Structure 1
Amino acid sequence: MEKLYSDEELLMISGIQHYYYCKRQWFLIHVEQLWEDNIYTVRGDVLHEKVDNPFILESRKDRFISRSVPIVSYSLGFYGVSDAVEFMVDSEGYYIESKKNYFKVIPVEYKSGKPKKDNCDAVQLCTQAMCLEEMLDIKINHGFLYYGKTRHRQRIELDLTLREEVLELSKAMHQIINNDRIIQPDYCKKCERCSLKNLCIPKTKTHYKSVKNYIKAKLNDKEDLYA
């Protein structure tokens, strides 16, 4: 594949899920380097502590699992770590010299919650698969999303539609960085669950013309309370 991005231009793979869920959330985390925990992020951290150990290598008769696998794609402009990659014996798969055999490569991403109605988790998994494809010069047809709340993993077909979505998201994210754009808050229902709510102050744009007016209104509220 054509190398479109340099090391300095690479973005974190985890950011594509943030960007899909909320562009403002992605901007605060990956551009402004801001972060706060809430119950949802803590649950995710606990789950990943259990699975993200690179020194744990599970092996069975026809497969083995590698955890915390570093991955990168210079055609997409992403880098990061795959929670787990399963290698299953397959005569048409990727040849691993140390194993003296061919293996099908299957990425697995762990999530603490439950399956989503949109593709925010699927695009992250697909991005990981596309990175592995570029690194190993192989084709990956599917991967799995494991959800801690249901303790069940969901098979995700990495079809053309999903891959095109990843490409469009990659282009949009890099354009924002290259053009020094600032993503403004845009309040909606899901803001109430976001750990960055107090940093983002999403209602400043929706209900007020400026941050100055937002602060002024809040000060007036307090004055009325103690009057």
Structure 2
Amino acid sequence: MEYKEDDYLMISGIQHFKFCRRQWALIHIEQQWAENVHTIVGELMHKKVHDPYLKEKRKDMLITRALPVSSRMLGVRGECDVVEFHKCEDGVKLYGHRGLYQIFPVEYKKGKPKISEEDILQLAAQAMCLEEMFSTVVTEGALFYGETRRREVVAITEELRCQVKEMFQEMHQYYERCYTPKVKWSKRCNGCSLKDICLPKLGKAISVKDYMNQVLLEEEV
């Protein structure tokens, strides 16, 4: 199946969707947004990286920034923070450059590596877009974290590719239905910039019917 460009979703949305499906729907379907210290720090970090006019050449490596990417098969579009093209014996040809190159995407993140997979899934989605655009295979990429100032190399496995495909299929289904899932409160909600819009703790409140039944049971006792 191929998607039309009008139906494309944002690649970056996969990290919101993995973190919280309701958060993704509030941002990408209902167009709700709010800033907090975490989002501002992340935005400042990306501004330093995203200069589409800045291209570098370091020996046998070409570096591009803010490279637009998309995929008809996934129905997504977005930008890669950094894509490195490493000269090799078996790779793709680049217009205006001699030789063959291997593609290596790098996604910049604030903070430190997470236990959860939202950053890894976003990087894998970018790699899959690059594979489709350049008719090649991207075997790995990296996540650079601002707090540790280190790269974490990520293997782009078939398992990751399957997760990305399934998640974007679900996201497209939600988007077509304009469906915002119900809230499921957890401790992670405290760090979300949308908590005052989402009001997660209201999701824990019982219904009037349940409340009245509870009161009646207490009176009987």
TM-score of the superposed pair, with normalisation by structure 1: 0.89
Structure 2 Cα separation of the partners of residues 209 and 109 of structure 1: 44
Residue segments in structure 2 that go unaligned for 5+ positions in a row: 212-221
Q: Can you list the C-alpha shifts for 1:26-61, whole angstroms capped at 9, x where unaligned?
A: 011111111111111111011111101111112111
Q: 2:91 aligns with which of 87, 90, 93?
A: 93
Q: Which runs of 4 or more aligned residues in structure 1 lie more than 6 Å from their structure 2 counterparts after TM superposition? A: none
Aligned positions of 1:118-157 closer than 5 A: 118-157=116-155
Match of 1:39 in 2: 37
Residue segments in structure 1 that go unaligned for 5+ positions in a row: 214-227
Structure 2 Cα separation of the partners of residues 192 and 97 of structure 1: 48
Structure 2 Cα separation of the partners of residues 201 and 156 of structure 1: 35
Structure 1 Cα separation of the partners of residues 206 and 99 of structure 2: 63
Determine helix, strand or coil for the equivalent of 1:92: coil
Amino acid at match of 2:36: N
Match of 2:158 in 1: 160
Once the 2 structures are TM-superposed, how far is the Cα of residue 208 of structure 1 from its aligned partner?
4.2
Match of 2:216 in 1: none
Match of 1:8 in 2: 6
- Aligned pair count reads 209
Determine helix, strand or coil for the equivalent of 2:90: strand
Aligned positions of 1:2-81 closer than 5 A: 3-81=1-79
Q: Can you list the C-alpha shifts for 1:93-139, whole angstroms capped at 9, x where unaligned?
A: 11113012211001110001110101110000000000010011000
Query: Identity rate of aligned residues, in percent?
Result: 41
TM-score of the superposed pair, with normalisation by structure 2: 0.92
Structure 2 Cα separation of the partners of residues 147 and 19 of structure 1: 20
Once the 2 structures are TM-superposed, how far is the Cα of residue 171 of structure 1 from its aligned partner?
1.0
Match of 2:194 in 1: 196
Once the 2 structures are TM-superposed, how far is the Cα of residue 17 of structure 1 from its aligned partner?
0.6
Match of 2:170 in 1: 172
Amino acid at match of 1:116: K
Once the 2 structures are TM-superposed, how far is the Cα of residue 85 of structure 1 from its aligned partner?
0.3
Once the 2 structures are TM-superposed, how far is the Cα of residue 182 of structure 1 from its aligned partner?
2.3
